[in-house]
Structure 1
């Protein structure tokens, strides 16, 4: 179970969001520079695997499937020592390197390692350690028992379960060790800030669901002999939940806001390289422009369907009434995907693979771990033909008062267009598939990863498909873009104290048209699930559109959309600045 202060940035993001953990694939025709670059990346992967073996094996790195994160002692100083040694070696190699791409990759690796130390230092400086062990263990079990993982590799989970439970020789229960590390830090620094109260309450409330989710996954698996380890873990996690109620909840802070330098670093980690104030200004302007477009589209729909009120909010409310029966949700999304793929091919938007994309419904425990629809990515190391899957969620888990909030945002016909384009094709699923099929360096797939790089493409994919959707689909494509603009000013505003969490929720329901369940999970995302992350969609989209427009200006009539989109996907998850450089220095001259 990866602890945030002991892992490389990509693993921290995977634990927090349960998505988008990436690494490089070795392709049969791997270029020589990629092979050499990957040898450099192994230095950083080795440190990652040492302190977060679950994360490393989840990426597909061999040799760590039976190892678990060592909670028996504090590793902060030793981790930093090891990372500094890696940075020094990479700097030495960079001086001797002549290949431009490899030098760029070394810069990515060094930057990622420095980011990790900065984030770990801030965590150490400010916060009481809080391990949501039920959530972390559920993530490990789900990751290992993923049907896409080879059966032999799944069997290693039995060893991990014994170690987590303290049943293996030389191991003590992870719950006991987590409590010891907490007491150790509290003794060392009495001024540490507790976690946000709502986060702790949600964790306490979700724990039984996640424990049951672990049992369900094990019961449906082909593993034999897991029962004793699970029985011990169930008892330990239940007791740990009581410990959280008594020891953590009493120390929880009522103010959701993070220290200013922590929030600023969050934005940096997610790929946003401008100030919160500049981000707010850009997003407010964009929100107003999108709202104008929505009213135009809503007016056309109102005229077409003879609706009395042409306001975009009223029209969306009417369209949302066309809820699809539960048994028809999956067939409807499959049909939408087929229609979108047909449009992609007819309009020469981007190259698509011949195989089908996968769409499935989330379990109750998965929805508790990650409430929003998402892409469950494939392994890109040791991949044996597995691909990503688009996971639909039904609603928020019950809150601390037992109230359950369902979503109506994704189960009506009009919304299926843009969500499918974002999570499946030509969005995330295609993005990951291209990396599997073409092969990119570990640096560009793992260590360059941040939400701006990933989500920027998916929102761009939505915009590419919008003109080829029916009017109602276009309206909800605009709503999705409006939501991303709202995120980009509401997230920083709530973290700067310029709006309350309740104000955020009300705005999203009243002005963006989200259900209470969706607005609640959005508010939780901004305040404790991943403060800063939600801004990355808007910012990544803006940067990618900026790069495309620069290419169009340079090429004019010679600009080829499909060639541009294929080129972007072939670069891996490089940051916006490096992508723009590649487009202007490689793509544009080649097209000329």
Structure 2
């Protein structure tokens, strides 16, 4: 895909379906019902132009529909977005409920953001569709074992439409090539995708196709074989065309036009200039490094290690790799230990049900190499919850070389990643929204990486004091990485460091494996430029809000009450969270 449209793309890719037979979500408050009626205006536009995305969000009635690539969607999409904005601005003038007004402002802002991204995309870039990755994502989410069997059957219809075997449909591979030629004819000066992105898409394709076939073979679907055989040939031919036609047009300079990168940062929730972000992150990196050397020195003394430098101590600890068959049992044990500490220390309210953790498949490693959480649908949720997916390496490159991770399969490395992706991090964050009945505007359209990832990094920090020394060292390493991201991502996009320089720095100074450093470098340069900065910035903004509440309340400050309140707000951006804390939480606690 092309480099903009980030907010919707990030949202859709993040909100993977996860349907379970669990308790029903909280009943809607009247203001939420009214707000959700307003949000439906924007959801209808999402569903019209990205039905796969609408399904992933939980919107009913679109499971058999696919994105229409038979025509250029730029003008129709923006026309519909302008109409929605006009209607919501009209409703805003008449609305008196402050929460509904705030949600209308969120919805209007989201629609305007989407239009801005569409316009920049149109201005600068050739349309590049990694169709194999897109279709794999649809297959993976639909055939999730937690999805009802009846709903899984809709995948057969979608696959027939993708392959052009359904009445009124042509193969999506043909349509994507038509849109490419159409834009080339209109403007020969459009920028191609980054060369590394195209090469990675080509390299990943066989793994993703094999992953789709494996998922279908293990499913209960009948008669998928002829359709998939046609689609497999089409995708294979399409990727050969990508290699022959798009790769020669790919740009060798990974850097985005400055206004595109600035827009990326804004879409992810970073509202300060890149240079200011770099300065803040460099300072934080140095402070964390000092803390790491103190902790590493204590571990070296405890274990009689000859070198107390944090890099040397981490290398020693990473040698204690866990056998493959012991990885998941260890993560289950680690989660139980973290939950026990959360309850004992009154950090946040936890549910009684178990969190879900599993290993990624080879195809999932290719599609999304970093460990991640598959959140539940946030619309029409009936008690579904997310899952922590532990990835194990990079897909093979052009030479066939695979890069395994050693970062999360040693004892000390399991603490922070579990706190971040499971509890009290992402898994709890999304579960709380379901259980408290957050409005669609706050759960979906206020979504930005700053608020999501800021909470997860904050959750790591909350747990660090209750971990053993080796776990604390790698908790600090995780925080160091987020600070490094916040200066390396903008620096590489401003041309102040090379991609190889990024990779080398992460391996030498942060202590990452070559595989993890490679996927990090790819994240900054083409997978999602700007997104990696959101962890550090979100954590800083959340800590600022907490400290402001502590100053206001002093001895009346209650950590558990604060954390529960933050989670109940949904995925709102930092300025709205700060307002809620200071105007609602602080007065209520101060009584």
TM-score tier by shorter-chain length is over 0.9
User: What is the alpha-carbon distance in structure 1 between the residues aligned to residue 383 and residue 574 of structure 2?
Assistant: 29
What SS does the aligned partner of 2:388 have?
Answer: strand
Q: Is the 8 A contact 1:51 1:69 kept in 2?
A: yes
Which residue does the alignment assign to 2:545? Answer: 547
Candidates 44, 54, 67, aligned match of 1:56: 54
List aligned pairs for 1:317-328, cutoff 5 A: 317-328=315-326
Deviation at 1:381, TM superposition (A): 2.2
Which residue does the alignment assign to 1:11? Answer: 8
User: What is the alpha-carbon distance in structure 2 between the residues aligned to residue 61 and residue 285 of structure 1?
Assistant: 44
List aligned pairs for 1:302-341, cutoff 5 A: 302-341=300-339
What SS does the aligned partner of 1:382 have?
Answer: coil
What SS does the aligned partner of 2:358 have?
Answer: strand
User: What is the alpha-carbon distance in structure 1 between the residues aligned to residue 379 and residue 149 of structure 2?
Assistant: 16
Candidates 439, 451, 454, aligned match of 1:456: 454
Which residue does the alignment assign to 1:107? Answer: 105
Structure 1 pair 125–187 and aligned structure 2 pair: CA distance change class (3 A): same
What SS does the aligned partner of 2:404 have?
Answer: coil
Deviation at 1:243, TM superposition (A): 0.4
Structure 1 pair 294–345 and aligned structure 2 pair: CA distance change class (3 A): same
Candidates 433, 453, 472, aligned match of 1:474: 472
What SS does the aligned partner of 1:242 have?
Answer: helix
Which residue does the alignment assign to 2:429? Answer: 431
Deviation at 1:225, TM superposition (A): 1.2
Deviation at 1:399, TM superposition (A): 1.2
Q: What's the RMSD between the two structures over aligned residues? A: 1.4
Candidates 532, 535, 553, aligned match of 2:533: 535
Equivalences, count: 586
Structure 1 pair 22–95 and aligned structure 2 pair: CA distance change class (3 A): farther
User: What is the alpha-carbon distance in structure 1 between the residues aligned to residue 382 and residue 156 of structure 2?
Assistant: 23
Deviation at 1:144, TM superposition (A): 0.9
Candidates 225, 228, 231, aligned match of 2:223: 225
Deviation at 1:10, TM superposition (A): 4.5
User: What is the alpha-carbon distance in structure 2 between the residues aligned to residue 33 and residue 26 of structure 1?
Assistant: 19
Map Cα deviations across residues 307-360 of structure 1 (whole Å, 9 max, x no partner).
111000000000000100111000000000000000000000000000000000
Q: Is the 8 A contact 2:25 2:383 kept in 1?
A: no
List aligned pairs for 1:246-261, cutoff 5 A: 246-261=244-259
Deviation larger for 540-549 or 216-225: 216-225
Deviation at 1:21, TM superposition (A): 6.1
User: What is the alpha-carbon distance in structure 2 between the residues aligned to residue 22 and residue 259 of structure 1?
Assistant: 34
What SS does the aligned partner of 2:373 have?
Answer: strand
User: What is the alpha-carbon distance in structure 2 between the residues aligned to residue 152 and residue 22 of structure 1?
Assistant: 15
Which residue does the alignment assign to 2:183? Answer: 185
Map Cα deviations across residues 169-188 of structure 1 (whole Å, 9 max, x no partner).
11000000000000000000
Tell me if 1:295 matches 2:293. Answer: yes
Candidates 580, 584, 587, aligned match of 1:586: 584
User: What is the alpha-carbon distance in structure 2 between the residues aligned to residue 172 and residue 22 of structure 1?
Assistant: 27
Q: Is the 8 A contact 2:7 2:267 kept in 1?
A: no
Q: Is the 8 A contact 2:278 2:487 kept in 1?
A: yes
What SS does the aligned partner of 2:14 have?
Answer: coil
User: What is the alpha-carbon distance in structure 2 between the residues aligned to residue 335 and residue 571 of structure 1?
Assistant: 30
Q: TM-score, normalised by structure 2?
A: 0.98
Map Cα deviations across residues 378-427 of structure 1 (whole Å, 9 max, x no partner).
12223333210000111011112221111000000001000000000000
User: What is the alpha-carbon distance in structure 2 between the residues aligned to residue 471 and residue 518 of structure 1?
Assistant: 23
Candidates 125, 128, 148, aligned match of 2:126: 128
Deviation at 1:28, TM superposition (A): 4.7
List aligned pairs for 1:138-537, cutoff 5 A: 138-537=136-535
What SS does the aligned partner of 1:384 have?
Answer: coil
User: What is the alpha-carbon distance in structure 1 between the residues aligned to residue 78 and residue 558 of structure 2?
Assistant: 46
Structure 1 pair 6–303 and aligned structure 2 pair: CA distance change class (3 A): closer
Q: Is the 8 A contact 2:4 2:260 kept in 1?
A: no
What SS does the aligned partner of 1:391 have?
Answer: strand
Deviation larger for 370-379 or 489-498: 370-379
Deviation at 1:58, TM superposition (A): 1.1
Q: Is the 8 A contact 1:445 1:572 kept in 2?
A: yes
Deviation at 1:6, TM superposition (A): 10
What SS does the aligned partner of 1:58 have?
Answer: helix
Map Cα deviations across residues 446-496 of structure 1 (whole Å, 9 max, x no partner).
000010010000000000000000000000000000000000000000000
| Structure 2, unaligned runs of 5 or more | none
